[in-house]
Structure 1
Amino acid sequence: MAFAAYLHDLGKLAERARIGEAMERDAQGNSVAERNKQLYCPSWDGRHTHVHAAYTAIAIDLIEKYLPPLKGVEVTPFTAWKEQGTDDSLINAAAMHHKPQTFLQWIIATADRVASGFERDAFDDYNQAVDDDNKPLNHYTRRQLTLFEQIRLNGEPVKPEDLAWRYPLAPLSVDSLFPASASEIEKAGNEAGQADYRKLWDAFRAALDNIPESHRKNWSLWLDHFDSLWAAFASAIPSATAGNTKPEVSLYDHSRTTAALATALWRYHEHDEPEKIREALRAQWDRERQHQALAEQTWTEDKFLLVMGDFFGIQSFIFSSGSETQKNAARLLRGRSAYISLLTECAALKILDELGLPPTSQVINAAGKFLIVAPNRSEVREKLAGIQNEFNQWFLQQTWGESGIGISWEPAACNDFLDRNRGDGEPPFKRLIDRLFKRLEDIKARRLDLCGDNAPAPVFEGFLDSFEKHGKGVCAIDGRSPASESLPKAKDNKYISLLALDQINTGKWVAHNDRLLVTRSNINHHTLSLNLFGYHISFTGNEDASGKFGKLAAEGDLRRVWDYSLPESRDAVLFNGYARRSINAYVPQMGEANAWEADRYEGIEEDAEWDALAPKSFEHIARDDLWLDA
């Protein structure tokens, strides 16, 4: 379901690229595109609208060989592709979102409309809108608006003529992050615009083949890779250009949100009678039945559950100190910062796995927070409570309660996603997000469930005894935990906790490698000592090293592979065949030793054993800024 919803607008890229396969004709002279328009596109005033839906079916067919198996096998909840009478195939469910008929098609169509913030009447107007190819700026030539240019501190509305910048239509790279002048990249001429899209389409198809073939046997793992691929190629494609729609939302953002909502909606109705739900969804979007009880109930029923997680105690986690903290400051700061990212990523993954949700159900993960869209069912809320308890236990054991991850959830209905108010104040979606954040603040105030029915003991049992058990004193890194491990490269006997050792190794291995693996079992491959909520983190290097784990992928042991390598050039596409995470930024390394460097770093204690791959400490970086006097 997630993948079908995710691809529902793939045809926008294919149609704007005017792919040649759509123009191929049968014996009667009818092109593939014309035949598909009859199947997938609505009609208005004697012509088909939203032609991209016809191209969605064509495009999915063209990329099928790069996807997990779809033909000849049943892919729940869809029937096998290419079999006769398969109205509910994945390809039909994806392409019929403007002309839905079956239960599954209505699920995706509803998710598409809710993700756009449409009311019933607003969608009817949009569904009748036609892209006018004769306008100087149309769906071929319009480029995506930037976000910051539209912000006004005085709250005054922004005039369209004041918006002078656009994102270039190019794959995501360092260069394409920067907007360009609209006068330079929004030029009239359909052929030039189509050529830009065709170049993007060809690059997308080529990059799709870079996802490891062995990972196609693991839908969750493969879909995480595909999400990063689509982010790289669809982040600068305007999602909507028909009618008076502002091209300010990317096709990637809309695709991911639609997939999350469709998955939650389907799971909410998973055990209901399909025909009954199909009729309810039809009534929801039927202008003639808008005042019927069935339509109103479908709009207001809390079918979704927004789940937000937040890491609290970041300052304590990053800056806790002991006698050896200063000497390892740079490595620790990098390691601890990356470790927080790993904790929040694994916390979100834990929720997804326990709830049986795909990676596309996680719509946000940034700044220590994540947001997941789940179905609002009682068993989901019960599982979330159990997961919260597991998080609490981990942080009580490893950080003694000074840090933690809290999760809150808030039910939502389709009405809550509307992007404009109905004369009663703020838009419903803003009120929904405000409620969610208030709930999260409440959870943070009751962190670790210290006042709950099953609250942990107010005093840690056996805390003092644990120092005697290991006989190695207090951790020399955090200054509070019982030490159990030797501090790497320490000249004398210095001991640290397992968490501190993992933080140091994270700071080291994140600089030496390009990818990390998340597995259920310990594979002993630059693997951290502690498991994060049941997941083991291992670091690996280049493509050859990463490719050795195909068997783990097929068995489901390999849950994620994340690429965090730096691009080799400013115009390099930020996709290397694996899901991408922004866990690592530039890490200055020692490099090869020479006489000048030896003199420059003289007296730094960490310089006793030169390691070309070791990250530089703050002291090394400070010495780099010194000038040689004449």
Structure 2
Amino acid sequence: MIVVLNLLKVISIAGVFHDIGKFAERAGDVETVNKDIVHQEYRYGHAYNTERALEELFGERASWFPDAFPGVNVLNLASRHHRPRNMYELLIAEGDRIASGHERMKADEAAEYDVEGLDRKSKVPLINILSRVRLEGKMDQEIEEDWRYKLRKFTSVFTPDGLRDIFPTRGSEYGALEVQRDYAKHWEEFKSAIAVSVNGRKLDLFDNFETIYEICRDYMWCLPASTRKEELPDVSLFEHSKATAALASCLYLYHADEKGIIKESDESKREIVDRAIDKFLLFAGDISGIQKFVYQISSKGAYRALKGRSFFIQLLSEILARNFVKEFGLTLANILYASGGKFYLLLPNVGKIESGLTDLSCKLNKWLFKEFGGDLYIRTASVALSGDDLTRQSGETLYDKWDHLTRKLVYLDRQRYHEIAISDYELLFGTQNVKPNTCEVCHSSIDAGSICSTCEMMAKVGSLLGTTSYIGLADNESEITGEPIFKLDGVFSRDTLVWLLSDDNFPFSVKNNISILRINEGNIGRIPLC
């Protein structure tokens, strides 16, 4: 099983970095090579430059492979996605094709940028999709010019000057030469961020992949995935790479046998590229009861309680999304969205995962009921997707599938706690839950005292937020000193404990089984590594 998890991580990382050569290419960080050899081995120059970039960024770690899978490494899987030589490289290739088929639209006259020739790639910016929105009745209205994103780190939004640069600007104010100039600078800054040394230790491609993933988001969100003249450059390179990683990971779990092996055969190749089969699951989790949970408070301690409860819901969405994907060995790339009490995941459509999702949802709702007395409930549902669905070849759009998923969630709201009513009737309806006193803040029943444990926790969270710089996540209390604000236990294979940390009580070293989330700060150099 460890081998399977390691290979799954290799595939996901390769998906994230499969087009990193485009970034290097546009920045001019390339070398003169024999074009015929490149075409024969890699098909496209950016694939060859992906290999070069990975070697420069991560050295030998990019060539590491799990036991019994020689040659199946990040370097090969990422760079050979246009000329796959085995089934594992084909997974990245197919993930890339599906992601490209789903996201790309044909260009129009407004997308005829003021660039031509071989250096076009380095002069095309990412355009804002909202600049293409037209109201009904005005569909024939001509688009005067595109709004473009500047090449800037996303975390620069936390600096006074960066907030202005993060929003799209008129095409006339950000021309081709400025884009080309910024590419070279942006690439050098990206390489420096990857090479950051903390406590004398550099980021490891595998041990610190979550951090590296966020660095990629920070720098690649504003780069177009495609600069081809016939396509609109309106999808970011990061989102395309993330989708490729998620799809390839799902394809691996769908096609691999119990030992994690995909047999090298023509039949395996046909099965991998068959897009008519529902190989994917679009899974949704929706925390219900948020409005009542957040606002059902008295005036006593309302400010802190309101802050704490709002923050808790946002944090719970993130924690649940992370735990669901990790439960099946997947990475953050499989989290499509997690915010405001909702999360959407892309998962493989295999039986053990479907049954696992049902079991986890039941355990999670039991935990929520015990902790919050029925105020919060999570609805979970999924719909099957095929490659044809994702490339608009099945007759149904992703919108149709998403609408179907939403309808399933609405229906489930009528069946709250039905699984607990069957498995633990006494917990739901037993008289032992009746308590003599009432909480002064939320008016829930309590055994003794004036405030319930939930309101105490939320008030504590609200008071700590003013000095909190980090959120610490770990699976046991010995990892981080101090008292965690809450513990998600008995649901997933590993418990999750959460700490709110200030600069004063931040741990001196961080182990690999701890996740540290930095609040409103893009400088990962301040987070120590063990």
**Which one-letter code corresponds to 2:276 in the other structure?**
T
Residues 1:353 and 2:326 are matched in the alignment: yes
**In the TM superposition, what is the alpha-carbon distance from 1:262 to its structure 2 partner?**
0.8
Match of 1:334 in 2: 307
Number of equivalences: 493
Q: What do residues 361-395 of structure 1 show as CA deviations (whole Å, max 9, x unaligned)?
A: 11211222111111111111111111111111112
Is the CA contact (8 Å cut-off) linking 2:95 and 2:248 kept in structure 1?
yes
Match of 1:171 in 2: 153
Residues of 2 paired with 1:70 and 1:576: CA distance? Answer: 22
**In the TM superposition, what is the alpha-carbon distance from 1:275 to its structure 2 partner?**
4.1
Structure 2 residues not aligned, in runs of 5+: 1-10, 106-112, 157-162
Match of 2:262 in 1: 274
Q: What do residues 443-476 of structure 1 show as CA deviations (whole Å, max 9, x unaligned)?
A: 2332223586436445244112x55xxxxx3222
Match of 2:349 in 1: 376
Is the CA contact (8 Å cut-off) linking 2:18 and 2:50 kept in structure 1?
yes
Q: Secondary structure at the match of 1:496?
A: coil
Q: Secondary structure at the match of 1:510?
A: helix
Match of 1:251 in 2: 237
Residues 1:500 and 2:488 are matched in the alignment: no
2:66 aligned to 75, 83, 98, which one? Answer: 75
Residues of 2 paired with 1:90 and 1:454: CA distance? Answer: 45
Is the CA contact (8 Å cut-off) linking 1:231 and 1:252 kept in structure 2?
yes
Q: Secondary structure at the match of 2:282?
A: strand
More displaced 10-residue stretch of structure 1: 382-391 or 167-176: 167-176
Residues of 1 paired with 2:122 and 2:373: CA distance? Answer: 57
Q: What do residues 407-456 of structure 1 show as CA deviations (whole Å, max 9, x unaligned)?
A: 1112211111024x67x5xx532222222222222223322235864364
Residues 1:446 and 2:422 are matched in the alignment: no
Is the CA contact (8 Å cut-off) linking 2:476 and 2:496 kept in structure 1?
yes
> Root-mean-square deviation (CA), in Å?
3.2
Is the CA contact (8 Å cut-off) linking 1:2 and 1:262 kept in structure 2?
yes
Residues of 2 paired with 1:502 and 1:170: CA distance? Answer: 38
Q: What are the residue-to-residue correspondences of 1:282-321 with 2, within 5 Å?
A: 298-321=274-297
**In the TM superposition, what is the alpha-carbon distance from 1:93 to its structure 2 partner?**
0.8
Match of 1:476 in 2: 440
Residues 1:576 and 2:528 are matched in the alignment: no
Residues 1:406 and 2:361 are matched in the alignment: no
Q: What are the residue-to-residue correspondences of 1:591-630 with 2, within 5 Å?
A: none
1:102 aligned to 78, 86, 93, which one? Answer: 86
Match of 1:528 in 2: 485
Q: What are the residue-to-residue correspondences of 1:356-367 with 2, within 5 Å?
A: 356-367=329-340
Residues of 2 paired with 1:441 and 1:150: CA distance? Answer: 32
Is the CA contact (8 Å cut-off) linking 1:239 and 1:247 kept in structure 2?
yes
Residues of 2 paired with 1:276 and 1:449: CA distance? Answer: 46
Q: What do residues 296-343 of structure 1 show as CA deviations (whole Å, max 9, x unaligned)?
A: xx221111122111111011110122xxx3132221111101100121
Residues of 2 paired with 1:502 and 1:241: CA distance? Answer: 50
Is the CA contact (8 Å cut-off) linking 1:306 and 1:411 kept in structure 2?
yes
Structure 1 residues not aligned, in runs of 5+: 24-30, 43-49, 80-85, 124-130, 286-297, 468-472, 485-493, 568-573, 580-630
Q: 1:280 to 1:218 in 2, by over 3 A?
A: closer
**In the TM superposition, what is the alpha-carbon distance from 1:35 to its structure 2 partner?**
8.3
Is the CA contact (8 Å cut-off) linking 1:224 and 1:360 kept in structure 2?
no
TM-score when scaled to structure 2?
Answer: 0.84
Residues 1:138 and 2:120 are matched in the alignment: yes
Residues of 2 paired with 1:217 and 1:170: CA distance? Answer: 24
**Which one-letter code corresponds to 2:21 in the other structure?**
G
**In the TM superposition, what is the alpha-carbon distance from 1:539 to its structure 2 partner?**
1.6
Is the CA contact (8 Å cut-off) linking 1:306 and 1:372 kept in structure 2?
yes
2:98 aligned to 114, 131, 134, which one? Answer: 114
Identity %, equivalent residues: 23
Q: 1:158 to 1:223 in 2, by over 3 A?
A: farther
Is the CA contact (8 Å cut-off) linking 2:441 and 2:455 kept in structure 1?
yes
Is the CA contact (8 Å cut-off) linking 2:12 and 2:249 kept in structure 1?
yes
Match of 2:508 in 1: 548
Match of 1:126 in 2: none
Residues of 1 paired with 2:486 and 2:229: CA distance? Answer: 56
Is the CA contact (8 Å cut-off) linking 2:245 and 2:333 kept in structure 1?
yes
Residues of 2 paired with 1:33 and 1:505: CA distance? Answer: 64
**Which one-letter code corresponds to 2:347 in the other structure?**
A
Match of 1:437 in 2: 406
Q: Secondary structure at the match of 1:416?
A: helix
Q: Secondary structure at the match of 1:409?
A: strand
Q: Secondary structure at the match of 2:122?
A: coil
Is the CA contact (8 Å cut-off) linking 2:336 and 2:343 kept in structure 1?
yes
**Which one-letter code corresponds to 1:41 in the other structure?**
Y
Q: Secondary structure at the match of 2:429?
A: coil
2:136 aligned to 148, 154, 160, which one? Answer: 154
Q: What do residues 587-610 of structure 1 show as CA deviations (whole Å, max 9, x unaligned)?
A: xxxxxxxxxxxxxxxxxxxxxxxx
Q: What do residues 38-90 of structure 1 show as CA deviations (whole Å, max 9, x unaligned)?
A: 45432xxxxxxx4211111111111105x9x445x5337853xxxxxx3x332
2:517 aligned to 562, 565, 576, which one? Answer: 562
TM-score when scaled to structure 1?
Answer: 0.71
Q: What do residues 530-561 of structure 1 show as CA deviations (whole Å, max 9, x unaligned)?
A: 4365311112223x8545242xx24x3x2x21
Residues of 1 paired with 2:272 and 2:249: CA distance? Answer: 18
Q: 1:76 to 1:306 in 2, by over 3 A?
A: farther
Q: Secondary structure at the match of 2:508?
A: helix
Residues of 2 paired with 1:222 and 1:159: CA distance? Answer: 49
Q: 1:133 to 1:435 in 2, by over 3 A?
A: same
Is the CA contact (8 Å cut-off) linking 1:211 and 1:578 kept in structure 2?
no
**Which one-letter code corresponds to 1:482 in the other structure?**
I
Residues of 1 paired with 2:272 and 2:344: CA distance? Answer: 26
Residues of 1 paired with 2:461 and 2:99: CA distance? Answer: 38
Q: Secondary structure at the match of 1:144?
A: coil
Is the CA contact (8 Å cut-off) linking 2:92 and 2:248 kept in structure 1?
yes
Residues of 1 paired with 2:290 and 2:16: CA distance? Answer: 34
1:8 aligned to 13, 18, 26, which one? Answer: 18
Q: What are the residue-to-residue correspondences of 1:29-40 with 2, within 5 Å?
A: 31=32, 37-38=38-39, 40=41
Is the CA contact (8 Å cut-off) linking 1:143 and 1:166 kept in structure 2?
yes
